[in-house]
Amino acid sequence: MKRVRVIASGRVQGVFYRATCARLARRLGLGGSVRNLADGRVEAVFEGPERLVDEMVDWSRSGPDLALVERLEVLAEEPVGDTEFRVTG
Cite the active site residues.
Answer: 18, 36
Strands 31-36 and 85-88: parallel
Give, rounded to a whole angstrom, the gap between the first and last alpha carbons of the chain.
26
Q: How far is Cα 47 from Cα 31, in angstroms, rounded to an integer?
A: 5
